[in-house]
């Protein structure tokens, strides 16, 4: 069986935890899009891993890991990830494959990301400053792109970097009055990257199709969330890749028909990092309660996450474009203690109730959430193992959300650990 796990909100839904759990029954875990803007948390016993580029299956010593064409790779972050795992006796030798066709994030991409954000002032996008946008822009532009395969021929890479850095310096000086950077410095770093990463660089598309022929079980791990998708999210407050499940096929060369189940991950409420519209945001005591209780601070940047109620309009949309079969809802425990809970069931727009999410932000700005209010529960649910043992109001909350999004919720998170997960045999919708 092949599965694809994808976030259905604005990222940080808990994909890392779900991938880690499902990886127990997978031979291969694949990261297919995004870059080190992602921060996926996996907790194994007392150890907490914050993974930025490595697939979350990497913490299981038997699992093969692939980083495919659609990912933009910051070699520094990748090497750091490999070395940190090795320190924990989790070697990736012989079980990590990195696509030769994946694009490389270099220093000048991160500098450009920062300069651009600074220059935008209050209109900034709130990116992670990981060089994601500039690297994808170079990929689409083609002429100034560096790919992992370029680490195989250092002479050619040196010449290419000379002209690319010369061009970047002209742009940085003209647009931002910034100091030039040295192509020699960039190249020296690339020599180290090449030395350390060459053993992993290969054709991941061939590997995946061979694995499919051998009936291996593959788990595709999405990064970010569908509402941050470049084409289908809340543009321009999105990331620079197709972070919905629509990006999976292009990102790894495996058509969606090879995936048996698409699993959407949501939180029991909504969070967002960075700028952009967020109709259900609670910039008040409720939002602060969720932030404190759910420890809602970014895994990659440490920024406080914006918090709000569950938005069934947004999630129905994401689940539709991602062809979701079932949903994992995490952080149910975080809602314990709130007297009443709101679920956004529609948007009021120009005097009419709408249930189809308007991804266009000018229209989204007009949307006023229409809430269904349900009673909360006071009990601590963090050690509950079975659905029927949850407080009646918690079960009711899950069932109400299921009805509104039209998808079965089959996995429920009641805490960050692996064993704080409830698997539900059947929901009314399945």
Q: For the chain, count helices (H), then strands (E).
A: 12, 20
Nearer to ligand IMO, 105 or 384 (CB): 105
Single out the residue of 256, 250, 247, 264 nearest to residue 218, CA to CA: 256
Nearer to ligand IMO, 223 or 390 (CB): 223
Nearer to Mg ion, 16 or 131 (CB): 16
The distance of closest approach from Cβ of residue 361 to ligand GDP in the complex, given in angstroms and rounded to an integer, is 23
The distance of closest approach from Cβ of residue 361 to ligand IMO in the complex, given in angstroms and rounded to an integer, is 13
Q: Note if 12 is an active site residue.
A: yes
**Phi-psi map region of 350: left, alpha, beta (phi>0 left; psi -120 to 50 alpha):** left
Q: Does 12 help bind Mg ion (rule: CB under 5 A)?
A: yes
How many residues make up the chain in this entry?
430
Choose one: 34-42, 161-169, 282-290, 422-430; the region binding Mg ion (CB under 5 A).
34-42
Nearer to ligand GDP, 49 or 237 (CB): 49
Q: Does 39 help bind Mg ion (rule: CB under 5 A)?
A: yes
How many CB atoms are located within 10 Å of the residue 213 CB? 8
The distance of closest approach from Cβ of residue 66 to Mg ion in the complex, given in angstroms and rounded to an integer, is 20
Name the site residues for ligand GDP (rule: CB under 6 A).
Answer: 7, 11-17, 39-41, 43, 294, 299, 330-331, 333-334, 413-416
CB 33 within 8 A of CB 223: yes
Nearer to ligand GDP, 39 or 276 (CB): 39
* CA dihedral over 85, 382, 420, 305, signed as positive or negative: negative
The distance of closest approach from Cβ of residue 263 to ligand GDP in the complex, given in angstroms and rounded to an integer, is 12
Single out the residue of 424, 333, 331 nearest to residue 382, CA to CA: 333
Please tell me which residue in 40, 52, 109, 331 is annotated as part of the active site: 40
Choose one: 39-47, 151-159, 244-252, 402-410; the region binding Mg ion (CB under 5 A).
39-47
- DSSP 8-state class, residue 50: E
Q: Note if 52 is an active site residue.
A: no
The distance of closest approach from Cβ of residue 313 to ligand IMO in the complex, given in angstroms and rounded to an integer, is 20
Q: How far lies 10's CA from each of 138, 181, 212, 294, 369, in Å? A: 25, 34, 31, 16, 17
Q: Which helix (H) or strand (E) holds 155?
A: helix 154-176
Give DSSP secondary structure letters for 326-379: EEEEE-GGGGTT-SEEEEEEEEEETTEEE-S---SHHHHTT-EEEEEEEE---S
> Which residue number has the CB closest to ligand IMO?
274
Q: Does 133 help bind ligand IMO (rule: CB under 6 A)?
A: yes
Sort 81 into a burial class: Cβ within 10 Å, 0-12 / 13-18 / 19+.
buried
Question: Any idea which residues carry the catalytic annotation?
Answer: 12, 40
Residue numbers of the site for ligand IMO (CB under 6 A)? 7, 10-12, 37-40, 125-128, 130, 132-133, 223-225, 228, 239-240, 273-274, 299
């Amino acid at each position: 069986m092949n599965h694809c796990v994808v976030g259905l909100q604005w990222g940080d839904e808990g994909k890392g935890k779900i991938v880690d759990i499902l990886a127990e029954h997978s031979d291969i875990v694949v990261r297919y899009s995004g870059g080190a803007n992602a921060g996926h948390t996996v907790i194994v016993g007392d150890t907490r891993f914050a993974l930025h580029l490595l697939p979350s299956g990497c913490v299981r010593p038997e699992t093969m890991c692939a980083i495919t064409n659609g990912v933009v790779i910051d070699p520094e972050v990748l090497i750091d990830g490999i070395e940190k795992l090795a320190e924990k006796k989790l070697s990736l030798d012989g079980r990590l494959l990195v696509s030769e066709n994946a694009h490389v994030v270099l220093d000048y991409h991160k500098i450009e990301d920062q300069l651009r954000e600074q220059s935008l002032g209050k209109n900034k996008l709130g990116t992670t400053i990981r060089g994601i946008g500039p690297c994808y822009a170079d990929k689409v532009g083609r002429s100034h792109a560096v790919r992992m395969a370029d680490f195989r021929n250092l002479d050619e890479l040196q010449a290419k970097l000379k002209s690319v850095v010369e061009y970047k310096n002209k742009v940085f000086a003209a647009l931002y009055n910034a100091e030039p950077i040295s192509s020699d410095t960039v190249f020296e770093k690339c020599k180290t990257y090449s030395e350390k990463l060459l053993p992993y660089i290969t054709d991941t598309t061939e590997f995946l199709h061979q694995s499919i022929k051998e009936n291996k079980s593959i788990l595709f791990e999405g990064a970010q969330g569908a509402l941050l998708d470049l084409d289908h999210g809340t543009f321009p407050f999105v990331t620079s890749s197709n972070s919905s499940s629509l990006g999976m096929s292009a990102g790894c060369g495996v058509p969606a028909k090879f995936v048996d189940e698409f699993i959407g991950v949501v939180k029991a409420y909504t969070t967002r990092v960075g700028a952009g519209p967020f109709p259900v945001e609670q910039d008040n005591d409720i939002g602060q309660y969720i932030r404190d209780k759910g420890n809602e601070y970014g895994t990659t940047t440490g920024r406080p996450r914006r918090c709000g109620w569950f938005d069934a309009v947004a999630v129905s949309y994401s689940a539709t474009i991602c062809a979701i079969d079932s949903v994992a809802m995490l952080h149910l425990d975080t809602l314990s203690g709130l007297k009443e809970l709101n679920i956004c069931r529609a948007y009021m727009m120009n005097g009419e109730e709408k249930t189809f999410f308007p991804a266009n932000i000018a229209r989204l700005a007009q949307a006023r959430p229409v809430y269904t209010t349900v009673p909360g529960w006071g009990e601590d649910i963090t050690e509950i193992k079975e659905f029927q043992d949850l407080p009646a109001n918690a079960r009711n909350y899950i069932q109400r959300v299921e009805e509104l999004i039209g998808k079965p919720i089959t996995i429920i998170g009641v805490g960050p650990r692996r064993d704080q997960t409830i698997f539900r045999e059947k929901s009314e919708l399945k």
